[in-house]
A and B are shown apart, each in its own frame.
Chain A
Amino acid sequence: MMICLGIEGTAHSIGVGVIKDMRGSCHVLSNLIKAYQPQKGGIHPREAANHHASHIADLISDSVRKAGVDFADIDLISFSQGPGLGPCLRTAATAARALALTLEKPLIGVNHCVAHLEIGRGTVNGCRDPVLLYVSGANTQVIAFAEGKYRVFGETLDVGIGNCLDKFGRQMDLGFPCGPKIEELAKKATQYLGLPYSIKGMDLAFSGLLTAAEAYMRQGKRLEDVCYSLQETTFAMLTEVTERAMAHTEKQEVLLGGGVASNKRLREMVQIMANDRGADFFVPSRDVCVDNGAMIAWLGFLMYDSGVRMSLDDSLINQRFRTDMVEVTWRD
């Protein structure tokens, strides 16, 4: 049995989680998150990093206290090594290194995207070999285990789905993040307005659709109708590429992850798709589905447990840490 503390800091959230492994499943002892809220516009990387730096020390103490453990009980420190915003990643990594050196405990840097998948396998009953639809502000990927690695079967060719919704919402002064507001507005729609549907194989593109949605607004269409059409079109695209990846990999489970997975309409669509295929549908509880420290801690444990070790020199962050760069040593 190991107790691991994980620090997440790839974008607008700084999170510290403490987990305990219970024979292959993840038991979350604490999982605290503080999210940076921009005054206006989107995430300013330096300001987000300053936010993280001012909260990280308290978050670590609070998370350890809430977990009901002592600092001496912690066996491993892990942190999000990438991908993400440089200043944010560096802040989280610096905190992790300092903590590991102070406590004289091993340090492991993990891939943020893979952590989203592993926390599903670790915390959701029955979730063993899923296709992950990972939808957040920056990331939109369809990931599955194949030939010894987590492979990206489909991904966005331009912006992430959350970013697409935010870009639209920002022009309409909906604040940040805009997803929840767009979801509410969409419920009051009265008609669907056609938008470009752009999928290439299992990849997606959102930029053309975004331009078309903005054009509708300039033409004076109702905001509610445009929000509805934006959601229906982008989510149908996401569900379709996920189904394509499931057919292609012949897998029978689908898992949702990332902030946009909080959207009820997206959940509903992916669930219907799964049911119609006779596949299982999984979504982790909200606190481990958004960016959080517990998933970082859990992946850190899996890696350490399978023999991975990391020296301080290897703990440099990597803003462009791709999902398929990770050697998966903890799965057959």
Chain B
Amino acid sequence: MTKKILYRGAEAEIRLSEYMGKTVVQKQRVKKAYRIEEIDRQLIAYRTKEEAKLIAEARSHGVSVPLLYDVDLVKGAITMEYLDGNRVKDILNVLEESERRSICLKIGESIARLHNHDIIHGDLTTSNMIFLNDRIHFIDFGLGCKNIELEAKGVDLHVLMEAFESTHSKYSHCFKDVLKGYSKQFQGDAGAVVEKIEEIVRRGRYR
């Protein structure tokens, strides 16, 4: 079994591995020596469990996410499908404007499909989206939760807005396309969510 580290994130190591003859990804949350045992244990167990639950539920509602193969709560490891696509973070700045805007529309539509079922991703950055087969796949639900409140949906999109401003500053206008796609697909009051984002911006410091 190969155990090549694909990516070392802030809280987990992502390895390429094999599972019943398939190439898979193993996401292993690692113990953090900087925090006390009580917090470390609780965060790792809780996030692993929540992430697996949310991925499974997102899939059941037709949102593109990796297939789950195995979850080990003791080790804090999730084994899932390897998505051989591109991180949106890596391609967004180099695409043609029309393609970029079309991807942003799709991002918005896919977020709306999550929000239609009160699934909050929790860390919507372009690093956590994989573009494959013309679809946006979400990964890393580690900070996610289920929440029916408008506030949670607003904060979720606000995180993405900030990612656009910091990582794709030349194309931050494309966040409008994200909202356009979102409004098209969201079954609730999309206008209220957009207003909520504006409210969150206003109550931030120095706004």
Contact = CB atoms under 8 A, between A and B. Distances in A.
Interface of A: 82-83, 138-139, 146-149, 151-153, 155-157, 160, 192, 194, 197, 199-203, 232-233, 236, 239-240, 243-244, 246-248, 268-270, 272-273, 276-277, 319-322, 324
B165 A151 contact: yes
Contact of A200 (B36, B122, B165, B170): B122
Interface in B27-51: 32-36, 38-39, 42-43
A199 B11 CA distance: 13
A236 B204 CA distance: 22
10 contacts: A146-B167, A149-B169, A157-B203, A157-B204, A160-B205, A199-B143, A200-B159, A202-B162, A269-B34, A324-B165
Contacts of B207: 320, 322
B36 A232 contact: yes
A40 to B, nearest CB: 25
Closest 7 CB pairs of A and B: A201-B159, A320-B206, A151-B166, A236-B35, A272-B34, A269-B34, A244-B10
Contacts of A155: 204-205
Given A157-B155, A201-B163, 8 more contacts: A147-B170, A149-B169, A151-B165, A236-B36, A236-B39, A240-B11, A240-B32, A246-B10
A238 to B, nearest CB: 10
Given A192-B36, A273-B32, A320-B206, A240 B163 contact: no
Nearest to A276: B33
A119 B207 CA distance: 25
A326 to B, nearest CB: 12
A156 B143 CA distance: 16
Interface in B189-207: 200, 203-207
A164 B9 CA distance: 29
A212 to B, nearest CB: 14
Contacts of A200: 122-123, 143, 155-156, 158-159
Given A240-B10, A269-B35, A139 B125 contact: no
Given A146-B167, A147-B169, A320-B207, A201 B35 contact: no
Contacts of A148: 169
Contacts of B165: 151, 324
A248 B43 contact: no
Among A82, A148, A276, max chain B CB count under 10 A is at A276
A322 B206 contact: yes
A276 B11 CA distance: 11
A159 B127 CA distance: 28
A277 B132 CA distance: 30
Nearest to A199: B143
Given A147-B170, A157-B204, A203 B162 contact: yes
Interface in B100-150: 122-125, 127, 143
Interface string B163-185: 10111011000000000000000
Nearest to B40: A236
Contacts of B9: 247
B166 A146 contact: yes
B75 interface: no
B8 A152 contact: no
A320 B201 CA distance: 13
A204 to B, nearest CB: 12
B38 A192 contact: yes
Nearest to B128: A201
Given A152-B166, A199-B143, A247-B10, A272 B33 contact: yes
B206 A319 contact: yes
Contacts of B158: 200
A200 B200 CA distance: 13
Nearest to A239: B34
B124 A201 contact: yes
A139 B36 contact: no
A270 B159 contact: no
B122 A201 contact: yes
Contacts of B123: 200-201
Nearest to B8: A247
A269 B34 CA distance: 5
A248 B125 contact: yes
Contacts of A236: 32, 34-36, 39
Contact of B43 (A197, A232, A272): A197
Given A147-B170, A240-B10, A248 B127 contact: yes
Contacts of B200: 157
Nearest to B122: A200
A318 B170 CA distance: 25
A50 B67 CA distance: 63
Given A153-B166, A201-B123, A201-B125, A232 B39 contact: yes
